[in-house]
Structures are given as structure tokens and as C-alpha cells.
């Protein structure tokens, strides 16, 4: 698209973990065709935290479903670690927005976290140990025997994050993961995710409609807009490894970046 | 717990509305039992001096019930009947749940067989009795088979509904985390559909009991149905009433037992308040 | 749930093929000789169906069964709705009748048949009573649920404006419980046919059920199957019709609900 802005110079040098080229997605055929996404490019480097931000209804969910292999795009390629994906991929894990629906109420939190590992064919003790480890990593040590419905929304979303971590994927896709929790829990979870990312070095791709959240968390913010959706801007943030909900958001560069995104989104 | 039908009604109707916990369990017990005491008392006194040969006094009915329970006449029959019922139900559950999972997961298969399933579940269960027993004889096997056939459809239909109602997010999860097919069936689809499956079994229970009794009334020399019919044919009126009453009590006890088991099995469902 | 784009024509063809396969399996089982010899083959069943459809005896029996089922169903619906609204709107009654209703609905009414026959004889009145007793429970239970679910805001409104009891019954309670009542009434319609045929099988009251046992006793298995087929067909038709009716009637409700 014409609005494609010149982006970073880093992309050319570092090896890419995920590479999306010319991806288009639409529903329906012929005259009925409803184009959702057109000609979208995306580069994800190892260990990067990328936020994809866009207004509600722009097709973020469709984009994420394509990236996670749940939907097959109509055109373009999605490569993970150099191979093109044709469906859900072991290097990709997803944290869904609706924690209360993505966790299974008939399993304990430990079973929930261990379940995908069982699917990988891992033995019982091994997967339970891994589950406990990852529950501890998200601050839920010793809570493995509880059922999800015995926990608060924030805790449930931590379980979902632990489940994604335990799966040991290279890329964590997060679909508005903090949209259904209250503000304070949201800040806690954001800091938890930042902390985990630095400790474990996972690569995270977060989809959100919240500009502050996108900026606060990410190394790179990808702005998508227009109809059909495409990338209209990319912003490399430079707030360093240690961020603070108050200080970082008070940074003048934060305000500047936010204004730039707002302008981008308003234009359409 | 509303359904006494072939197919559980809309889920909204299945959910019992949350009740306020009543303070004072003694008062609660009194409120829930006084009417039964009154009904029994009215029956007792109104029938006490009955001159109608066909309406014996409640006292006579209960006396004959106690007598025949004591001398084993009824107990043997009940054992025979309940064996048929449970074997039939077990077969129905296996076929109904298995088929329901299959039809629920495979949309194309369900679309093709949908009218056939709905036709079979509309066949009057009691009318099968003379057919199946006529062809296969009076033994226990055909009776079990009839019960199984009659009970299978509500379980099948409810299982299909349950499978279709599995939360889409959980299905997405299973795909993204590449859960193998059998594991997905066993640990995701089956538990998610279980509340609806249990509703189907609850619907099947009274159907099973009805077919059980009818099959024994139609052709048998054993069982509760035979006891009732034989008593009425030999004009042992109190025994006839006693038998019918007993079948009712057994039906009620089984349904209570089932609700109890269901609460245990579906603890997560009731506790999580999922719909 | 996305439905793939299969044309209705192709679907019909697939369905016909499926039915054909089932008949084929049936014929194979018959031909294999593992089943008792009385079972009629596919051609005999079709002949039986053809013979039945032109037989005045069949139409008479069908009429009798339907009339008994309909009468019992209507009576049970009226009584069930009135009783259910009363019980459901009065908390004390609701609590008091709980066990009794649970007992009643788990009672296999057909087991009571010999008793009812002793009291009323083997005739259509008896059949209507048994059908009515069976149909009562779903209507009653569903109506109670509907009446219970009265919104507290609505209840407050009724109280504040001091709406008279009868008016409240007719204009507030009944419409708000309507979706539940409709479900109960629909469910009991299927039960009515099933029970009516069942009564006829056991009591030899005239109707489809009796014809099935007569045909079976006369070793006319093809005709017995044909009757059974039509009994199923009628039950299916009624269920489908009522489902359609309920969906139409309650369109507003569906829109509000989800």
C-alpha cells in the first residue's frame, strides 16, 4: 500500500523468526467478497516484543487467526523459522482474550497447563513438573490443584499465560489478553508479561486496540488501519528494558509516539 | 431439571434458577413435606371405608405391599426388571454417546442422517414392544434391546447438542496447541458435552422405566410389570395398586439417585456457573 | 458454526442414498438368515406401506389415536398452565409442591394402566386420562419455571401500580412465562402420541397401537412394520410442525435472549 512508511534498519540485519509477506484475507467470493486484510507485511525478530495496534473492527482478530494458523490466508506467505506454515505450528502458542472460556473448567489449573504437553506425548510426571514450574513463573506457585473457576479473572489469565509458556513455543501470540480484566489487574499482568519476556527471552506478538498498552509493552508497534486492513505505520520504541507504568508513560517520547499513532489512525 | 421428554428443552430451561438459601432447615423441611403428608392422609381417610371393589383402602394397599416385599415375590420381580433396565440403559448410553460424538463432530454426516435420526426418535417406544418381543421372543435379551433402543435417541440427540455447544474458544485452543484427535475427544469434547449428555440420560430414565414395565406387561412371567398385570388379571386389586405405586417409587428413587450422581460428576459445571 | 456450501439438491441426494444404504443393510441382514424368519424384507415393507395407506382401517385407527392424543394433550396443557402459573408465582406453594411434582413426573404413567383400566374400563376415556396424566408434567414443570423467572423489576412494577390479580395473571405472568410454556406444550405433544399408541398396545383400546399388536398376532409382520412406520412418521411430523410454530411464535424472545 502507498501509506507504507519507511521502517527500521534493524530488520535487515537480525535473523527473522517470523516473516509475513503480502498476506491478504477475505471472506466470500466474487462480488460478495469482503476484503479484511490486504497485502500485509510483518517482520518478527528473535526476542522481540511486537504490538499490533488498530481500531476495533479493523480485522485484528482475523489477522491473529491467520498468524496462528487457524485460518489460511487467501494470498501471501507466513514463515516461521524459515518454513511456511500451513496450520497450527508447534513454534506458536496463543493466549486468548477470553480466559474464562479458553481454560477448561473440568480440569485443575495444573491439568490445564499440562494438557497441551500431554498432547505432545510428554510423560505425566514431567508435564506436571513443567506445569508447576510455569505456574510458579506467573506467580501462582502452589495453586495447581485449584480449579480455574475458583480464581479471579487476573489469576485465570495468568494460568493461560503459564499454559502458553509451558508449551515452549518460540512465539507467543496474545489476542487482547488483558481486555477483560480491571485496570489494576491489567497493569499487573502487563508488568508480569514484560518481566517474563526479559527473563525467558520469548518472542511476543500482542494484538490490542489500546495504544498505551501497545507502546508500553513493545519494542516495535505495528499500526494497522484502513479497510481492508494493512500496515500504515511502524514505530520502534526505545524505553529500555526496565519500564514503569508511571515513569514510562510520562516520558515525552511516549506522548510523541502516541500522538503519531493517533494521527495515523484518525486519518482513515 | 425440567425435562421429562425425549429431548431436553433449551438450555435456558434446564438451568434451575438460583435459589436463596433458606434459613432454618427445619422450617424448610416442613414446607417441602407438609403437602405430601396431607395428600397421603386424604388418600388414607377417603379410601378407608371404600366400598368400591376397585378402590381398596390405602391401608390394604400398603399391607399387601409390605407382605409381598417381605415374602420375596416383589423383590425377585424388581431384581429382574431392574437388571433389564440397567443393561438396556448401559447399551443405550454407549451407543448414544458414541454416536452423538460422531454426529456432533462430523457436520456432513449429521446433515445427511438428521431426518433419519428424528424419524427413529419419533417411533412410539411402547409400540416397539410387541414387534421386538414378537420377533425375538419373550426372553430377557429382547426386553433389554427394546429398552436400549428406546433410551438411545434422547441420549444421542442430547450428546449431539452438547458437542455442538462446545465453547468455540476451547476448540480454537485445541487446534492451536495441536491436541491429538483422540485426546481432544476424551479430555475436551466429552467433558464439555457431559452436562448435556447427563440431561439426555435423565430424559431417558423414565422412558426406560416405562418400556421396562410395558415389556413385562406385554409378555413376561417375571418382573414388576408382570406382577401388576397378573394381580389385576386375578382381581387382586390391592396388589395391583401396590405394584403400580412401587414402580412409581422406584422411578422416583432412581431419578433422585441420578441427580445425586450427576451433581458429583458435574461438580465443576455447577460450581463454575457455566451455561 | 460455518456450514459449507452444499446445495440443497445434493443434500437430498445424499439423504436418499443414506436411506437406501440403511435399507440395503436391512436386506442383507434378512438375506444372511441370522435373524428370525418373520422379519419382512424391504420389498415386503414397501408393499405393506402401500397396502396400509389405502386401507380405511388404517385411517380410522389413525383418527382414533390422534383424537385421543389431541384431547389428552389439550386438557393437560390447560390444566398444566393454570396450575403451573399459580404454583410458580407463589413461593410457598412452589416449595411445598416440589417433591410431589418430582414424584409425579418420574412416575411411569403407563405402569398405572391396569389400575386405570380397572377404574375406567378399556375405552377412549381411559386413554385420554392416561395421555393427559403423562402430558401434564412437562407443561406443569415448564410453566412453573417460567412463572418463577419473573423479573423482580416487573414484579415491583406490578406491586407499585397495584395491578389486580386476574389482570396480572393474564397480562404479565402468562406472557412472560410464554416461552417456557411453549416448550412444555411442544414436548408434551410428542409425548401424547407416544403414550396414546402405548396405551393402545397394552389395553387394546382402538387405534394404531392396537392395530400393531393385531397385525403382529396375525403374523402380518409387513403390515405391523408399516403401522409402526406411520406411527413414527406422524410423531415426527407433529414434532416438526410444533417446533416450527414455536420458533415463529417466539421470534421476539429469541432476539431478546441472545
- Residue C54's pLDDT is 86
* Selected residues 46-75 of chain C with any CB under 8 Å from a CB in chain B: none
Determine the residue among C15, C38, C103, C108 to mutate to test chain B binding: the one whose Cβ has the most chain B Cβ atoms within 10 Å: C108
Q: What mean pLDDT, rounded, does chain B reach?
A: 84
- Which band of pLDDT confidence, cut at 50, 70 and 90, is reported for residue B148? very high
Cell 421428554 sits on residue: B5
More confident residue, A210 or C161: A210
Question: What is the per-residue pLDDT across B216-270, written as a single tens digit (0 to 9) for each?
Answer: 888 788 888 888 888 888 888 888 888 888 888 898 999 899 989 998 888 888 8
> What percentage of chain B has pLDDT greater than the value 70?
90
CB-CB under 8 Å, C190 with B127: no
The dihedrals phi and psi of A41, each to the nearest 5 degrees, come to: -115, 145
| ipTM beyond cut 0.85 | no
Fold held by C44-257: MetI-like fold (1.10.3720)
Binning pLDDT at 50, 70 and 90, where does residue B24 land?
A: low
Query: Could you tell me the residue ranges of all domains in chain A?
Result: 10-91+170-267, 102-168
C106 interfacial to chain B (CB closer than 8 Å): yes
pLDDT band at B274 (very low <50, low <70, confident <90, very high): low
Chains linked to B by 3 or more Cβ pairs within 8 Å: A, C
pLDDT at residue A2 is higher than 50: no
Cis link prior to C37 (omega < 30° from 0)?
no
Residue B142, classed as helix, strand or coil, is helix
Higher pLDDT, B156 or A15: B156
In tens, the pLDDT along A146-159 reads 999 889 888 999 99
pLDDT of residue A181: 83
Asked whether the predicted pLDDT for residue A208 surpasses 70, the reply is yes
Overall average pLDDT of the A55-76 stretch: 87
Q: Tell me: the pLDDT tens digits for A165-191? A: 998 888 999 988 888 788 888 999 999
> Does pLDDT of A11 surpass 50?
no
Quote the cell numbers at residue B51. 366400598
Instruction: Give the residue from A106, A107, A112, A121 with the most B CB atoms within 10 Å of its CB, the best one to mutate.
Output: A106
pLDDT above 70 coverage of chain A, percent? 94
Nearest by CB: B178 against A107, A119, A147: A119
Rounded to whole angstroms, the Cα distance separating C8 from A138 reads 52
Phi, psi of A26 (to 5 degrees): -150, 155
Q: Looking at domain A10-91+170-267, which CATH architecture does it have?
A: 3-Layer(aba) Sandwich (3.40)
The per-residue pLDDT for range B165-223, each reduced to its tens digit, is 888 889 999 998 999 988 999 899 999 999 999 999 988 998 899 889 888 888 788 88
Residue-level pLDDT at B135: 81
pTM listed for this prediction: 0.81
* pLDDT above 50 for B34: yes
pLDDT at residue B155 above 60? yes
**A101·B169 Cβ contact <8 A:** yes
Burial B168-207 (b: 16+ CB within 10 A, else e): ebbebbbbbbbbeeeebbebbbbbbbbbbbbbbbbbbbbb
Q: How far does CA C222 lie from the centroid of its chain?
A: 26
Residue with grid cell 407382605, as numbered in its chain: B67
pLDDT of amino acid C252: 54
> In three state form, how does the secondary structure of B242-258 look?
HHHHHHHHHHHHHHHHH
Residues in chain C within 8 Å Cβ distance of B244: 111-112, 114-115
B19 pLDDT exceeds 80?
no
Please tell me the predicted confidence (pLDDT) of residue C2.
42
Question: Is the Cβ pair B231, C221 closer than 8 Å?
Answer: no
The per-residue pLDDT for C255 is 45
Fold of B80-272: MetI-like fold (1.10.3720)
Q: Identify the CA nearest to C17 among candidates B99, B157, B115, B122.
A: B115
Polymer length in residues for chain C = 258
Taking CB atoms and an 8 Å limit, are A106 and B268 in contact across chains? yes
Torsion of CA B13, C187, C111, B143, to 10 degrees: -100
> How far is it, in rounded angstroms, from Cα B236 to Cα B238?
6
Task: Please check the confidence at residue A8 and state whether its pLDDT lies above 70.
Answer: no
A105 close contact with B: CB closer than 8 A = yes
Q: Which residues of chain C have pLDDT under 50?
A: 1-3, 254-258
> Taking 70 as the threshold, does the pLDDT of residue A68 lie above it?
yes
Contact between B142 and B136 under an 8 Å Cβ cutoff? The reply is yes
Q: Which residues of C touch B55 (CB under 8 A)?
A: 119
Amino acid at each position: 500500500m502507498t501509506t507504507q512508511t519507511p521502517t527500521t534498519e534493524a530488520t535487515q540485519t537480525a535473523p527473522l523468526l517470523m516473516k509475513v509477506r503480502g498476506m491478504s484475507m477475505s471472506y466470500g467470493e466474487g462480488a460478495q467478497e469482503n476484503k479484511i486484510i490486504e497485502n500485509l507485511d510483518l517482520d518478527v525478530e528473535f526476542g522481540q516484543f511486537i504490538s499490533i495496534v488498530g481500531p476495533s473492527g479493523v480485522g485484528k482478530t482475523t489477522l491473529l487467526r491467520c498468524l496462528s494458523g487457524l485460518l489460511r490466508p487467501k494470498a501471501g506467505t507466513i514463515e516461521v523459522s524459515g518454513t511456511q506454515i500451513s496450520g497450527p505450528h508447534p513454534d506458536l502458542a496463543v493466549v486468548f482474550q477470553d480466559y474464562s472460556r479458553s481454560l477448561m473448567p473440568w480440569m485443575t489449573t495444573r491439568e490445564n497447563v499440562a494438557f497441551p504437553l500431554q498432547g505432545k506425548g510428554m510423560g505425566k510426571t514431567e508435564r506436571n513438573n513443567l506445569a508447576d514450574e510455569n505456574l510458579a513463573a506467573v506467580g501462582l506457585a502452589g495453586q495447581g490443584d485449584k480449579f480455574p473457576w475458583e480464581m479471579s479473572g487476573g489469576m485465570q489469565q495468568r494460568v493461560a499465560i503459564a499454559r502458553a509458556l509451558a508449551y515452549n513455543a518460540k512465539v507467543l501470540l496474545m489476542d487482547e489478553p488483558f481486555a477483560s480484566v480491571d485496570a489494576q489487574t491489567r497493569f499487573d499482568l502487563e508488568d508480569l508479561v514484560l518481566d517474563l519476556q526479559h527473563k525467558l527471552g520469548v518472542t511476543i506478538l500482542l494484538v490490542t486496540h489500546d495504544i498505551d498498552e501497545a507502546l508500553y509493552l513493545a519494542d516495535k508497534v505495528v499500526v494497522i488501519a484502513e479497510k481492508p486492513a494493512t500496515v500504515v505505520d511502524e514505530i520502534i520504541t526505545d524505553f529500555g528494558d526496565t519500564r514503569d507504568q508511571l515513569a514510562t508513560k510520562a516520558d515525552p517520547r511516549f506522548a510523541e509516539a502516541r500522538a503519531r499513532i493517533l494521527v495515523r489512525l484518525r486519518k482513515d | 431439571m425440567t425435562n421429562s421428554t425425549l429431548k431436553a428443552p433449551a438450555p435456558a430451561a434446564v438451568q434451575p434458577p438460583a435459589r436463596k438459601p433458606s434459613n432454618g432447615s427445619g422450617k424448610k423441611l416442613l414446607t417441602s413435606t407438609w403437602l405430601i403428608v396431607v395428600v397421603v392422609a386424604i388418600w388414607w381417610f377417603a379410601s378407608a371405608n371404600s366400598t368400591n371393589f376397585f378402590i381398596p383402602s390405602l391401608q390394604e394397599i400398603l399391607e399387601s405391599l409390605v407382605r409381598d416385599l417381605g415374602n420375596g415375590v416383589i423383590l425377585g420381580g424388581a431384581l429382574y426388571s431392574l437388571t433389564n433396565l440397567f443393561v438396556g440403559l448401559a447399551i443405550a448410553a454407549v451407543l448414544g454417546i458414541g454416536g452423538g460424538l460422531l454426529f456432533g463432530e462430523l457436520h456432513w454426516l449429521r446433515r445427511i442422517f438428521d431426518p433419519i435420526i428424528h424419524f427413529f426418535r419419533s417411533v412410539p417406544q411402547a409400540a416397539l414392544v410387541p414387534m421386538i418381543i414378537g420377533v425375538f421372543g419373550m426372553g430377557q435379551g429382547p426386553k433389554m434391546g427394546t429398552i436400549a433402543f428406546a433410551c438411545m435417541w434422547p441420549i444421542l440427540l442430547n450428546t449431539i447438542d452438547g458437542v455442538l455447544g462446545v465453547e468455540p474458544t476451547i476448540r480454537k485452543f485445541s487446534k492451536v496447541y495441536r491436541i491429538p484427535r483422540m485426546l481432544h475427544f476424551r479430555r475436551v469434547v466429552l467433558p464439555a458435552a457431559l452436562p448435556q449428555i447427563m440431561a439426555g440420560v435423565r430424559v431417558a430414565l423414565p422412558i426406560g422405566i416405562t418400556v421396562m414395565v410395558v415389556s413385562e406387561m406385554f409378555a413376561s412371567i417375571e418382573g414388576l410389570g408382570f406382577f401388576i398385570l397378573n394381580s389385576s388379571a386375578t382381581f387382586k386389586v390391592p396388589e395391583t395398586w401396590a405394584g403400580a405405586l412401587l414402580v412409581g417409587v422406584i422411578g422416583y428413587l432412581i431419578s433422585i439417585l441420578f441427580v445425586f450422581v450427576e451433581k458429583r460428576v458435574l461438580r465443576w459445571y455447577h460450581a463454575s456457573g457455566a451455561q | 458454526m460455518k456450514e459449507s456450501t452444499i446445495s440443497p439438491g445434493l443434500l437430498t441426494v445424499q439423504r436418499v442414498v443414506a436411506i437406501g444404504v440403511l435399507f440395503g443393510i436391512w436386506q442383507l441382514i434378512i438375506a444372511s438368515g441370522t435373524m428370525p424368519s418373520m422379519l419382512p424384507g424391504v420389498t415386503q415393507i414397501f408393499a405393506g406401506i402401500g397396502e396400509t395407506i389405502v386401507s380405511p382401517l388404517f385411517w380410522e385407527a389413525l383418527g382414533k389415536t390422534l383424537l385421543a392424543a389431541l384431547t389428552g394433550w389439550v386438557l393437560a396443557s390447560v390444566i398444566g398452565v393454570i396450575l403451573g402459573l399459580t404454583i410458580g408465582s407463589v413461593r410457598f406453594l412452589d416449595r411445598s409442591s416440589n417433591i410431589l411434582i418430582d414424584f409425579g413426573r418420574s412416575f411411569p404413567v403407563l405402569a398405572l394402566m391396569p389400575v386405570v383400566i380397572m377404574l375406567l374400563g378399556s375405552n377412549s376415556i381411559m386413554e385420554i386420562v392416561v395421555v393427559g396424566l403423562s402430558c401434564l408434567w412437562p407443561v406443569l414443570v415448564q410453566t412453573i419455571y417460567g412463572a418463577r423467572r419473573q423479573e423482580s423489576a416487573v414484579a415491583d412494577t406490578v406491586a407499585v401500580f397495584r395491578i389486580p390479580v386476574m389482570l396480572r395473571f393474564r397480562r404479565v405472568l402468562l406472557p412472560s412465562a410464554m416461552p417456557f410454556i411453549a416448550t412444555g406444550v411442544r414436548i408434551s405433544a410428542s409425548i401424547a402420541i407416544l403414550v396414546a399408541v402405548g396405551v393402545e398396545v397394552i389395553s387394546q383400546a382402538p387405534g394404531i397401537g392396537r392395530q400393531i399388536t393385531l397385525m403382529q398376532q396375525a403374523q402380518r409382520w409387513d403390515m405391523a412394520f408399516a403401522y409402526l412406520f406411520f406411527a413414527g412418521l406422524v410423531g415426527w411430523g407433529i414434532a416438526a410442525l410444533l417446533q416450527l410454530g414455536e420458533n415463529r411464535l417466539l421470534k421476539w424472545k429469541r432476539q431478546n435472549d441472545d
